[in-house]
Amino acid sequence: VMVWEDKEYGLIAWKQQNQFGRHTDLAFNNPHWMQLAQAFGWNGHMLTESSEIKNVLNTALNETGPSLIVIPIDYRKNMKLTERLGDIACPI
């Protein structure tokens, strides 16, 4: 299982900001993913860099039993890209 973690509904915030010029409070705390995986007897992996994904995915696929891979993501970069592309981007 792969979880993209941003401690908020960042994708929704990006869409609201893009369409309405503001967004509602969508921030929250995530569970402690590694403890959750351990509680269910799963293997747990927490990435710190996107470059780790290939090695961690290979490791998880070769482990016995289910694995949880947590991938941090920052959806604010979507807003920066939207601003940079401006009118040449197709609206979503």
Question: What is the per-residue pLDDT for 69?
Answer: 97
Question: What is the per-residue pLDDT for 88?
Answer: 63
Question: What is the per-residue pLDDT for 90?
Answer: 60
Q: Per-block average pLDDT, block size 10, for the chain (92 residues)?
A: 84 82 82 95 94 95 97 76 66 58
CB 73 within 8 Å of CB 5: yes
Residue 15: enclosing H or E segment and its boundaries?
helix 10-20
Question: What is the per-residue pLDDT for 32?
Answer: 92
Domain that holds residue 32: 2-88
- The CATH number that applies at residue 39 is 3.40.50.970
Phi/psi of residue 43, nearest 5 degrees: -80, 140
Instruction: Tell me whether strands 43-46 and 2-5 are parallel, antiparallel or unpaired.
Output: unpaired
Number of domains in the chain: 1
Sign of CA dihedral 4, 8, 14, 15: positive
